[in-house]
Structure 1
Amino acid sequence: MTQHYYSVFGLTLASEFMFDVLDPIPPVAHANTLKVKRRAGIHPDAPPAFDPYFDIQPERQFLHWKAVGTFIIEDPNTVLVEPQEGVSDHLLSQAFLGLVISLVLERRGILCLHASAVSVNNRAALFLGDKGAGKSTTNAALLARGHVPITDDLVAVDRTLTEVPAPVVWPGFSSMKLWPDTVEALALKADEGDRLIHPSVQKVQKRMPTPLATHPVPMGGLFVLRRSADVISPSVIPRPAHEALQMVMRYTFMARYGETRLGREHLGLHLKRCGAVVANAPVYDLMVPADLSQLNALCEVIERIFDPAG
């Protein structure tokens, strides 16, 4: 079976599937290698009552999407995968590089946030928010102004590096998911690699315009996007620590499948990791006009916060 090698979130993937949103690397033996293996016979014996269906336990995580396939994590070094018949590696990667890899990272001590991240003056700016708030749009607007991409959709925050006492953000993958009006507002050129993320969704997956950060980036600040037609111009509102902690916890990947699913011990560690983020980086409400014509003004508000001279 052909092996494909990639680097993502501080891991080396040795995969039997091709992930087109990741840049291939030469075969390498690495202590942080995650093996992604094809395995027949792991689909549920009977159709689950819910779709998607997750059975997440501390020692074993089972995830099944009717239109994608089945994933099993029995240890944080291996993911077993059985695609549904006819499913492309591209569609498989959408599930893998979201909930599936978030569980692997959580088991390895990495906090996963549903967010986007950009390096602004060598510090990570994280954008959190509800669906449609504009996380990827804000990310893309900053990239258009020359800032360095880190990742989109899943942000991996690590505080285990002994040489860096504060949390850092690992580079992820070089693609972003944008609505057509964002592509038009930013005058992004069409590229041969552009594709719909799913035939039923109009979001376009686009390659990021510049290479990803090559090393983990120190945490700089977190911005919870509040998009509204009532907002006239972009602004930020700092949040006190107790409110900031609640906001960060709301946008963790663990909140999507239940904070206690990985066990009480892991929940305690999860709370400490969220607390470390709030203790080391400010958290803001980012008030965002619904009008996409103000994206440059939005970027300027963020850039002032990260201005070394400010």
Structure 2
Amino acid sequence: MPRLRLFGFETLADMDLATPMAESSPSAGPELSFSCLPADPAKMQAPTDNALYLSNSLNGSGDPSVQLFEVNESTWLMRFPGIADFYLMSGEIECRLVDPRLAFMVDVLLLGHVMACYLERQGILALHAGALAVGHRAVLLAGQRGAGKSTMVTSMVAAGFSLMADDIAAVEENTGVVICRSAFPQVKLTPEQLGRFVKGKGRSYPRFHPGFPKLSVPVADLGNFDLGPRPVGAIYLLERGHEESVVIETLPPARAVAELARHSFLGHVLEATPMLRDRFAHLARLASAVPVKRLGYPDGFCHLADVHAAIENDLEAKE
């Protein structure tokens, strides 16, 4: 059975994922098991009385496209109607796939919503951010749509900084120490980003999801992957196009907590669950332990190197 490292968990899987994965340590015992089984229609009835979340977005059949249920005290069910059910238990994730022709969706769902939910249930915050190793620390980059997060992460990897996470940064705080776990060695690039940052490879890459243009690219074709974990040096909230030069400003605590909540990967899903109070307290501890900063920078690829240098200088100023 394949063994891999997924968001810091030594994972035993019953299938090979199409997405590049970091190899597991041979001496480490598994902390998480993942299995994918054919769905049994007789067992597909969801516990509707225990719905934690039903998305406003609907699928082609008119059902909420993402559904979350509490099966019992130890098990949650994340359902993607017509595609798969994922049962989340401590140390175990089980996928029940509706149609084997939809096997390509296992990676998409597992490495997005499902793992984010699993992390949160383990007390690990899943932030919608990229993460890179800068020196001995992790740097997180978040931003609203259009802020340039994907391009900035890609440009930093191409410039020699090691990737830790492309889209979901797994962060945990314990007695004032905040660390970031590494996700998996893949980046999702648009064809334009691919042409600019991945030179001379002569390869074609599959789409991460058939409905979206971004391609699944092994980070080895761009730069390096850092296995982590690493202490978090700072969290930067990117704002592109509003400044004539790079500007970095530390946010006050209340705004920092609000921004971290806004950049939680599944904040809209988990806000109606019993986890809400503990998550808010976790975000507050994170904001008090790690600086959260606004990073404004001019639009244009020519300014990316200036942003890289500004981040390094800002981190050095902390020491």
What TM-score does the superposition give when structure 2 sets the normalisation length?
A: 0.83
CA distance in 2, matches of 1:290, 1:67: 41
Deviation at 1:89, TM superposition (A): 4.4
The offset of 1:44, in angstroms, is 5.1
- Give, as a single letter, the amino acid of the residue that structure 1 aligns with 2:289: N
| Structural RMSD (CA) | 2.7
Kindly tell me: are residues 173 and 76 of structure 1, through their superposed partners in 2, closer, same or farther at Cα, counting changes over 3 Å? same
Matched residue pairs, number? 300
Kindly indicate whether the alpha-carbon contact (under 8 Å) linking 2:160 and 2:224 is maintained by their aligned counterparts in 1.
Answer: no
Which stretch of the first structure deviates more once superposed, 150-159 or 284-293? 284-293
Q: Which of 109, 113, 119 is matched with 2:127 structurally?
A: 113
| Equivalent of 1:8 in 6, 9, 15 | 6
Three-state SS of the structure 1 residue aligned to 2:279 is helix
* 1:181 corresponding residue in structure 2: 192
1:65 aligns with 2:80: yes
Distance 1:111 1:191, change over 3 A: farther
Aligned letter for 2:156? Answer: L
Identity %: 21
Structure 1, unaligned runs of 5 or more:
none
User: What residue number does 2:244 align with?
Assistant: 232
Shift of 1:193: 6.7
Residue type matched to 1:25 in 2?
S
Distance 1:61 1:193, change over 3 A: farther
Structure 2 stretches lacking a partner, 5+ long: 47-58
Q: Say if 1:121 and 1:307, in contact at 8 Å, map to a contact too.
A: no
| Structure 2 counterpart of 1:249, from 246, 253, 261 | 261
Deviation at 1:103, TM superposition (A): 1.5
Aligned amino acid, residue 95 of structure 1 = L
Amino acid at match of 1:6: L
How many Å separate the matches in 2 of 1:31 and 1:5?
A: 8
Note the C-alpha offset of 1:135: 1.9
- Letter of the aligned partner of 2:227 in structure 1? T
Name the SS for the 1:252 alignment partner: coil
Displacement of 1:250 in angstroms is: 0.9
**Post-superposition offset of 1:168:** 0.2
Q: 1:285 aligns with which of 278, 294, 306?
A: 294
Q: Tell me: CA distance 1:189–1:87, structure 2 relative to 1, closer, same or farther (3 Å).
A: farther
Partner of 2:52: none
Q: Name 2:218's counterpart in structure 1.
A: 207
TM-score by length of 1: 0.85
Contact persistence 1:170–1:215 (CA under 8 A): yes
Shift of residue 245, structure 1, vs aligned partner: 0.7
The residue that corresponds to 2:137 in the other structure is 123
Q: Letter of the 1:141 partner, please give it.
A: S
SS of 2:277 mapped into structure 1: helix
Alpha-carbon spacing, 1:155–1:191, altered in 2? closer, same or farther (3 Å)? farther
Shift in Å at residue 16 of structure 1?
1.9
The offset of 1:118, in angstroms, is: 0.3
